[in-house]
Structure 1
Amino acid sequence: MSGHWVDTRAPQATRPFLKLARMERPIGWWLLLLPCWWAAGLAAIAAGHPYPDPWHCLLFLIGAIAMRGAGCTFNDIIDRKLDAQVARTRGRPLPSGQVTVRAAALFMVGLSLIGLVVLLQFNAFTIAAGIASLVIVAIYPFMKRITNLPQFVLGLAFSWGGLLGWSAVFGRLDAPAFLIYAAAVVWTVGYDTIYALQDIEDDVIAGIKSSARYFGDHGREAIALCFALAVVLAGLAAWTAGGGPIAFAGLAAFAGHLGWQVSRIKGATSPVALAIFRSNQNAGLLLATGFALDALARSAF
């Protein structure tokens, strides 16, 4: 990203590692963080708390940044040969030779240790659930070689915070947690299909599978279906958690934003597709804000 502090202010020696962690692209950790905050908001509503636990929300923020960086580094280690064949990714630190595989692996371990320290601040159930997510994280980089829907596996990994945000409060999983997790999974399939639109031509050449290639001319309809399912599932999550009008107003704003995205997809150029993809940060924040404000309003009366 031109002009980002990683390129202009960070010490020269650290820049390749910061790019491995995608620090110049914060949208990734936002998308990992938001299901955590959704679930934290729902848990506050269900528990009768006036707001999501601030300490939990801060831990989720730190953990999302660290683990997104570790995941991207792991993905780049596995995909370094494929990345060299795709125009958008061949300049990354590993395929371009800016970083060795050994150095990248050590960097990944360091970020993972930060994530572990964060995870250990939670209750035992949440710690075990967080560790369990590593299985999905480990297999995701290989999915683009064997399945037409690697975005679904990404969704399973990226949405895990929908479970942790709830269990951090209750020490168990209940219906709202499973429903918001499922909502986040299909949301991820939708927005990452938009992201994959940028690489269709290169993916064909490199033999990389993706939902954008799989859905083909029906991509817009498939994305719309994913987003519609996300809204329905998030609505069921809010209902089972005891959400009130403000929670559903947030849901309506979320739905409206997703509808706007679908309206712009057809014939979108790569820069437009990227901009639409990045706008999911705002979509997710609308829902998180609705849940948080609903908890506040319910506790006030």
Structure 2
Amino acid sequence: MGTDDTPAVAGSEITSDPDASNPESDPETIPGSIRESIAESVASRRAGYGAVGLAAFVAIWHLVSLTQPSYVLPTPAAVGATFIEEAASGGLTVAIGQSVLHWIPGTIAGTTLGVAAGVIAGWSRTADDLTSPVVRLLRPVPPLALIGFAIAWFGINHAGAAFIIAIGAFWINFYAAYGGVEGVSEDLLDVGRSLGISGDRELLRHIVIPAASPEILTGIRTGIGRCWMLVVAAEIFGVPGIGRRILRASNNLQVDVVIAYILVLSLLFLLVDATFRAVQRRLLVWRGEAR
């Protein structure tokens, strides 16, 4: 009897675990179609909440604008009419094109240099020691403080505005890449070496940069948004574009125009950010972290 009771107890213990008896409780065993359905449901719910929040924001804006003069806070309808008017006149397209002429080169230059410098400083202790004092000296300097240098070195043109934008992008990407590379596990490097990957170049290419890619890509995405913010600052000294249009409208108390062009900046950022998020998800799909 004693020998017969033992298997029965063991069997009851094994089957008492709900996860063990129900393979569907393990996310890895859920069919792909069901996972996609769940993801679509979550995305739909989030989109619905976002639409409700946006509608509430516009409603509050409308109610508050009714208590204020139009030169203080115009109604959403007035801003929409101004937006359509600017678009129809061609002024909106011209302003966007002018800003893009320095946003693109500034963002690319700042991002490229920032990532490269961050990877080098994060990987090489010698490079980190050499550059650390300079980094600590220059990092607190805001891009706006360099407007004088931009004018002296490049003039009042797109190159000067691109310089200001590049400075802002550089530091974000530098620290993101630096932190990502510095945080790569030594155990991961040992595994790479044991598999025959040797030399700084090979380790960086096959181990370090892929492991640090989430932080690097997050820095790039953050820098892209920061660069759109810097467009306004970069155009303070007279370079034409969206920011210059906002400043001129502010001086003339054309608040509807100011808000319309602020919305343009927001829409441009959302478009670029959505595009980059799609690229980021594709690049990080191998890690299972893309969201």
Please indicate, yes or no, whether the TM-score normalized by the shorter chain is above 0.5. no
Q: Bigger radius of gyration, 1 or 2?
A: 2
Q: TM-score, normalized by length of structure 2?
A: 0.28
Q: TM-score, normalized by length of structure 1?
A: 0.28
